[in-house]
Chains A and B, each alone.
Chain A
Amino acid sequence: MSIKKGLTVLLAGASVLTSSMSFAAEEVNVYSYRQPFLIEPMMKEFTAETGIKVNILFAKKGLIERIKREGNLSKADLMLTSDFSRLALFTEDGLAQPVESEVLDKNIPSKFHGASKEWFALTSRARSIYSSVERVGPTPNITYQDLATPAFKGKVCMRSGKHPYNISLLASIIAHEGEANAKTWLEGLKANLARKPQGNDRAQVKAVKEGLCDYALTNSYYLGKMLNDPKQVSWAEAVHINFPNQATTGTHVNVSGVSLAKYSPNKENAIKLMEFLSGDVAQGMYAEINYEYPVKEDVKPSKLVASWGEFKQDNIKLSDIAAQHKAAIKLMDEVKFDL
């Protein structure tokens, strides 16, 4: 390649580099810890209704750190998370701002938003225990604590203890029972695992189907998703969904949620999107497409999810769970849960 040609290529590259800076006039920028394909249907509907374009930047790790570094120049308007701990980190770090909106107040019950309205939950999901149809049958009285008892030795499958869903569950147990009891529980659970923690929630269900274990600790909505995937439907049919701790504290529930960024450049549009996501249409879509529980009280879960029955939720405050987040991570290290 001649120098001249090389330079031409470089210049062409440089012009493309800076061209990504320009945006359409009406838009809202979302940093999302949730996969775009999960939220795209709602965003499309929002754009169709309002003409506001939604730009999504998805990553599983590091978005909070990025927005922190970007400071007051950040283009992000909203932070969308798939669990509460990230929402808590985001607001604790002073990266969020409170939102006063009648629509949000009406749609989202007070236990599903922060005290000063700096975060709002959009959906909830239960950390449920799936049991093998073939070998166990439905176990409506099961508790998280049972999983750590000797009767369950070698029968439990779960994903990495460090996954936010498991961290949240452990944090809730610390909040209820204190760290020492939680540690005993975690050690018991580790001793009962059929294999070292691995794979995702779906993989645990598959392991139950294949007989590797009898119980899997898994979020509720995966069952709905697997029942609608031609390849995975047979896994889903091999398990019952149980909502643990019905006679005691209630089933641990985590939320996905949204927060308005402190330096949001398109604040008005961002609030419109938040309101839309809490409204009937989007809440209905969350229920029907993703099999999550809507937070808006008059929006019903999908028929399938409703067929699993109602259950008692753990009513502990989300912020109390979030307060134990770091303790939970450290506890996972202490008992070397994943190792």
Chain B
Amino acid sequence: MISKSSNLYKLLPWGVTCILLCPIIAIFLSAFVIDESGSFSHLVDTVLFTYISNSILVILSVVLLSIIFAMPSAWFVACCDFPSRKKLQWALMLPLAMPPYIIAIVYTDLLDFTGPVQLALRRLFSWQSIDDYYFPDIRTIFGASVILALSLFPYLYLLLRSAFLTQSAGLFQAARTLGLSPLQAFWRVSIPLSRSAMAVGISLIAMETLGDFATVNYFAVHTLTTAIYDTWLELGSLTTAAKISSMMLLAIVILISLENYSRRKQQVYQRNNNGNVDLRFVLTGWKKWGVLAFTWSLVSLSLFIPIVTLMYYAAHYFAESLNDDLINYTMNSLWLAFLVAILALIVALIVNFYQRLSPGFAAKSTIRLSSLGYAVPGTVVAIGVLIPLTSFDLLLNDFLLSWDLTPVGLILSGSLVILVLGYLVRFSAIAVGSVDSSLVQVSPSLELASRTLGNGPVKTLWRVNIPLIKKGMLTAFILVFIEAMKELPAALLLRPFNFETLATYVYQFVSDEMIEYAALPALMIIALGLIPFIVVNRLLEKKR
């Protein structure tokens, strides 16, 4: 679309992509170092294939469960009318604020053999041992998948809901007029139209699942991330760990490319996005009760039960948990998350607008490449960021010394710069995805009109696209903010001295399974993640 393809347009997106890609390339290159320890062949001979099949099973189950949770609820909320719909509309997003490792601890605590639920059952029915009754074992692949899905499904819900909302009601109506039932219309019109949202949501969930270590590990489920940690931290073989990470990345790249390829001819633009307010199906009778039961159980499981449990712990250990540090760490978490969210949003706008201005393979690549970090486990991202930044610092200091200048020490890798970069590598994907999925719905005819009226490409983006994708941008901001509030492994390894976030503080106790002491700061993480949701939701409601 740019007639004089200025290099500046390309320089910026590629620069950003390169910075975000640096750590991943560092890991990738480490994979080619010759390994003398034989760790990789040891893995192949022993557990690697079990780990691979566990990883695949966990991802498939989490994705499937997320669809089961998210797709109906998004459609009910967007296209039907029933009591408490407005409350549910945002209550269903809130589980995103729950760190999965916290939900995992709460549920394993509640449901395993020694937990209160089974204890109560044994007392009630005077069962003596585990042989006297059946209770599903929570520490299984399925248990871990349910918990991960409960905390990840809102990604898909959010994207699907906004896709359903903005889908032109006319198409749906046309389908109905042609004799389709609401359900048929849903399958044959709404779902195909929301395929891009679906793809983005599923890939976010799959990537996050693949990169997860803390949650599955807590469920005693061992996946490829287990192999990465074992080989790298215990067997001391960075190259084997890098090989496994690279394999995982490759799998992600292939899957995403396939999905994109299959969607290459499909284009969905939005003409009118305000029409279906009055066209919701009003639910009555058993349908109403069914929908209410489904949606509110989902909210209870993912939100209320964990929060109430944490509150119970926090109340019992309140005196031990409340101190000055807590306020201090809260502030740290807050401004760090804010900064990362802003930066991620900027990254997302840069690569997405590049794609808009000069669509094609190159631009598509920046989008894909800048999102890769999301699928890499936090600790691996951390080491990936450490490699280039420490190298830079060491070179810089040598250079300064050779010119008789005062060395500056670890100016990047010993400060918060490295932490912010680590977060960006990890979370840009979320911002890029949200902006992408709202930008594709803006019809190019609007841009063409603006260009015809004499506006330059940048001015068009600024005056036409940005106002149209404000909601997507806001979503991107909130999602990254929340992820950054929850982030643990990268923060743990990259933070400088005397800098704790709420998550690292929680981890101190959780790593010794002292959940009671961690309950108050954990609630703080959740509360701070909920606030921006509620504020933004109010803003959006008012505008409507």
Contact = CB atoms under 8 A, between A and B. Distances in A.
Interface of A: 6, 9-10, 13, 16-18, 20-21, 23, 29, 35-37, 55-66, 69-75, 89, 93, 160, 162, 167, 195-200, 202-203, 206-207, 209-212, 231, 325-326, 329-330, 333-334, 336, 338-339
Nearest to B387: A69
Contacts of A326: 37, 234-236
Nearest to A30: B497
B516 A55 contact: no
B130 A212 contact: yes
Contacts of B496: 20-21, 57
A339 B47 contact: yes
A210 B113 CA distance: 8
The main secondary structure of chain B at its interface with chain A is helix
Contact of A20 (B42, B415, B508): B415
Contacts of B407: 73
Nearest to A196: B220
Interface stretch (B390-398, B441-449, B533-541): B390-398
B498 A21 contact: no
A18 to B, nearest CB: 6
Contacts of A6: 342
A339 B409 CA distance: 45
A167 B393 CA distance: 36
5 contacts: A18-B411, A69-B390, A73-B410, A210-B119, A212-B113
Given A6-B342, A73-B409, 15 more contacts: A17-B415, A21-B496, A56-B497, A57-B495, A62-B382, A62-B383, A63-B493, A65-B232, A69-B413, A93-B236, A199-B108, A199-B112, A209-B114, A329-B235, A334-B46
Contacts of B112: 199
Nearest to B234: A329
Contact of A16 (B43, B335, B386): B335
A120 B421 CA distance: 36
Nearest to B138: A198
A154 to B, nearest CB: 10
Q: Which of the four size classes fits the interface of chain B? A: 35 or more
B409 to A, nearest CB: 6
B339 interface: yes
Given A62-B382, A73-B410, A330-B42, A200 B513 contact: yes
A203 B139 CA distance: 13
Contacts of B504: 58
Given A203-B513, A339-B47, A21 B220 contact: no
A75 B495 CA distance: 13
A339 B57 CA distance: 14
B509 A37 contact: yes
A136 to B, nearest CB: 15
Interface string B301-344: 00000000000000010000000000000000001001100110
Contacts of A167: 234
Interface string B504-533: 100111011100100000000000000000
A199 B499 CA distance: 28
A71 B493 CA distance: 16
B416 interface: yes
A20 B130 CA distance: 53
A210 B407 CA distance: 60
A66 B504 CA distance: 17
Closest 5 CB pairs of A and B: A198-B220, A333-B46, A55-B497, A13-B339, A69-B390
Contacts of A35: 508-509, 511-512
A338 B129 contact: no
B230 interface: yes
A13 B509 CA distance: 29
B113 A29 contact: no
Interface in B195-222: 219-220, 222
B258 to A, nearest CB: 30
Contacts of A330: 42, 46, 235
A16 to B, nearest CB: 7
Contacts of B516: 231
A10 B347 CA distance: 14
A111 to B, nearest CB: 25
B116 to A, nearest CB: 11
A333 B47 contact: yes
Contacts of B411: 18, 21
Contacts of A74: 410
A80 B137 CA distance: 37
A37 B508 contact: yes
B348 to A, nearest CB: 14
A60 B113 CA distance: 27
A66 B493 contact: yes
- Among B114, B129, B415, chain A packs the most CB atoms within 10 A around the CB of B114
B240 interface: no
- Among A20, A212, A338, chain B packs the most CB atoms within 10 A around the CB of A20
B394 A71 contact: yes
Interface string B368-396: 00000000000100110011001001100
B397 A73 contact: yes
B222 A338 contact: yes
B47 A162 contact: no
B82 interface: no
A72 B393 CA distance: 11
Contacts of B119: 210
A325 B343 CA distance: 43
Given A338-B222, A339-B50, A89 B394 contact: no
A209 B230 CA distance: 32
